[in-house]
Amino acid sequence: MLRLSKKLLFAIETVLDIAYHAGSAPVRSPDITRRQGIPARSLEPVLQHLVRAGVLTGVRGPRGGYRLARERRRITLGEIVRLVGALEKTKDPIYDAAGAPLGHRVVRPLWRELQEELTERLDAVTIEDLCKRARDAGVENEAVAGYDYSI
């Protein structure tokens, strides 16, 4: 079952933050924590999982941090939802054998259809789309704000 857990919200916001604020240097986790208000102890496991899944790349060293492993237009919300869903241990009750005929023949098939429709929609939304929404909403981009155009 798709539900917006804190872990899922953190993962989406983290990938979007890295994509939106990416400049020439990698995005540091303390900067993500500051901008998004995600506690560091909750952020680090999410970052590591996204690196292992190939969504992010970790850059080591004093100027290290995180970058997207692929172009923004090639990372979808559906991918992030599935990755985080695999992390969460809660069993989806829709696949539980217990239940009445009405549930198994009417409610659960409908619920699966709705989940499939939502998954298709999430697969159609890319991180690039969310970056455009952020720009349209007037969210400050620290990578752009940090440039010095003086000569």
Amino acid at the residue 21: H
CB 123 within 8 A of CB 129: no
CA distance 33 to 65: 12
Q: Considering the domain boundaries, does residue 110 fall inside one?
A: no
Q: Considering the domain boundaries, does residue 81 fall inside one?
A: yes
Domain that holds residue 35: 6-89+126-145
CA distance 16 to 126: 10
Q: What is the mean pLDDT of the segment spanning 145-150? A: 46
Q: pLDDT at position 2, please?
A: 66
Report residue 35: phi and psi, to 5°: -70, -40
Give the residue among 13, 37, 23 at the shortest CA–CA distance from 133: 13
Instruction: Report pLDDT digits (tens) over 62-112.
Output: 889 999 999 999 999 999 999 998 877 767 777 777 888 998 999 999 999
Q: Considering the domain boundaries, does residue 95 fall inside one?
A: no
Which CATH number covers residue 64? 1.10.10.10
Amino acid at the residue 59: V
CA distance 54 to 67: 11
Q: Considering the domain boundaries, does residue 53 fall inside one?
A: yes
CB 64 within 8 A of CB 26: yes
Instruction: Report pLDDT digits (tens) over 25-57.
Output: 899 999 999 999 999 999 999 999 999 999 999
The total of structural domains in the chain comes to 1
DSSP state of 146: T
CB 81 within 8 A of CB 55: no
Q: Considering the domain boundaries, does residue 52 fall inside one?
A: yes
